[in-house]
């Protein structure tokens, strides 16, 4: 049976002399494992679509749960991501995260759009890597059903805009005032956040994906934002990502 879908190669492994095993993140079916025969030959019409980060329309043959590539049309290769070590590490982490949360279904299209926009911003150097990382993590959490509530303190009802300083409970997603913030033993994930970080979090939540990465933040706020968004998504994903450890190593080395 032939199946047609758009997807991005998130992992590639060489197989035998001329083949590859690919993991392709799709919009509607999560990650598919696909055997791509003969694609390491330059003459293969599918070789360009079988590279890491290549975004293509694929036609694959499905038999007993196994997929083999038949045809492909390359839509964007994201090739430049592989020539910059930070952009590469960031792209690996974003693909990993998107693959982990996209188990198929309705959110798949939005997750794919978010991923493609983030990879484009990284490839074209539109935003700083840490801006892209934070925006991706926090927007993704909202997409998969964990949008925080930034309206008011859930205990006393004081509007969030009037609260200073603000405490963000990363576990339940509320902004608390200083009087109502849960004590540490009850909620170890309530952190005080600065006003610039709160504004950035709101920007990430309320903007469409094509505007998501268009903000700037100075240090130390950019690091603070990344600590918040990384913790926020990791509380929902609950998996140690080796690509995240790799990204941290690369950022440390390059700074």
Binding mask 175-204 for Zn ion (x = CB under 5 A): --x--x------------------------
- Tell the burial category of 44 from Cβ atoms under 10 Å away from its Cβ (0-12, 13-18, 19+): middle
Phi (first) and psi of residue 230, to 5 degrees = -65, -45
Is 161 a residue that touches Zn ion (CB under 5 A)?
Answer: no
> Closer CB to Zn ion, residue 147 or residue 155?
155
Name which position in 155, 161, 214, 253 contacts Zn ion (CB under 5 A): 155
Q: How many chain residues bind Zn ion (CB under 5 A)?
A: 5
For the segment 48-107, give every residue that binds Zn ion (CB under 5 A): none
Among the candidate windows 74-82, 123-131, 155-163, 210-218, which touches Zn ion by CB under 5 A?
155-163
Q: How far apart are CA 181 and CA 125, in angstroms?
A: 39
Q: How far apart are CA 172 and CA 168, in angstroms?
A: 9
Report the half-sphere exposure of 177 (CA within 13 A, side-chain side).
16
Is 253 a residue that touches Zn ion (CB under 5 A)?
Answer: no
> Closer CB to Zn ion, residue 155 or residue 161?
155
Helix count and strand count (H, E) for the chain:
6, 8
Task: Give the list of residues 6+ apart from residue 218 with CB closer than 8 angstroms, or none.
Answer: 196
Name which position in 153, 209, 225, 250 contacts Zn ion (CB under 5 A): 153
> Closer CB to Zn ion, residue 135 or residue 181?
181
Residues 62, 43: contact at Cβ < 8 Å? no
Task: Kindly state the smallest distance separating residue 255's Cβ from Zn ion, in Å.
Answer: 38
Instruction: Compute the C-alpha angle 131/231/204, nearest 5°.
Output: 40
> Closer CB to Zn ion, residue 83 or residue 164?
164
Residues 53, 81: contact at Cβ < 8 Å? yes
Among the candidate windows 45-53, 76-84, 146-154, 204-212, which touches Zn ion by CB under 5 A?
146-154
Is 156 a residue that touches Zn ion (CB under 5 A)?
Answer: yes
Residues 70, 59: contact at Cβ < 8 Å? yes
Is 154 a residue that touches Zn ion (CB under 5 A)?
Answer: no
Among the candidate windows 64-72, 80-88, 100-108, 169-177, which touches Zn ion by CB under 5 A?
169-177
Q: Which residues make up the interface to Zn ion (CB under 5 A)? A: 153, 155-156, 177, 180
């Amino acid at each position: 049976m032939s199946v047609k879908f758009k997807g991005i190669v998130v992992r590639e492994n060489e197989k035998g002399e001329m083949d590859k095993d690919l993991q392709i993140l799709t919009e509607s079916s999560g990650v598919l494992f696909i055997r791509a025969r003969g694609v390491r030959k330059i003459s293969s019409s599918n070789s360009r679509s079988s590279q890491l980060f290549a975004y293509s329309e694929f036609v694959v043959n499905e038999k007993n749960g196994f997929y083999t590539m038949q045809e492909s049309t390359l839509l964007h290769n994201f090739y430049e991501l592989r020539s910059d070590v930070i952009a590469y590490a960031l792209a690996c982490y974003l693909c990993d995260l998107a693959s982990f949360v996209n188990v198929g279904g309705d959110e798949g299209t939005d997750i794919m759009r978010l991923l493609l926009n983030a990879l484009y911003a990284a490839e074209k150097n539109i935003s700083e890597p840490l801006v892209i990382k934070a925006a991706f993590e926090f927007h993704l959490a909202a997409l998969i059903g964990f949008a925080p509530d930034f309206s008011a303190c859930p205990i006393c009802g004081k509007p969030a805009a009037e609260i200073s300083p603000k405490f963000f409970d990363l576990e339940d997603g509320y902004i608390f005032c200083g009087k109502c913030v849960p004590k540490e033993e009850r909620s170890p994930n309530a952190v005080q956040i600065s006003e610039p970080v709160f504004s950035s979090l709101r920007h990430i939540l309320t903007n469409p994906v094509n505007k998501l990465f268009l903000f700037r933040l100075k240090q130390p706020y950019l690091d603070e934002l990344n600590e918040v968004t990384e913790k926020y998504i990791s509380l929902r994903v609950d998996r140690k990502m080796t690509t995240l450890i790799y990204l941290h190593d690369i950022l440390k080395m390059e700074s």
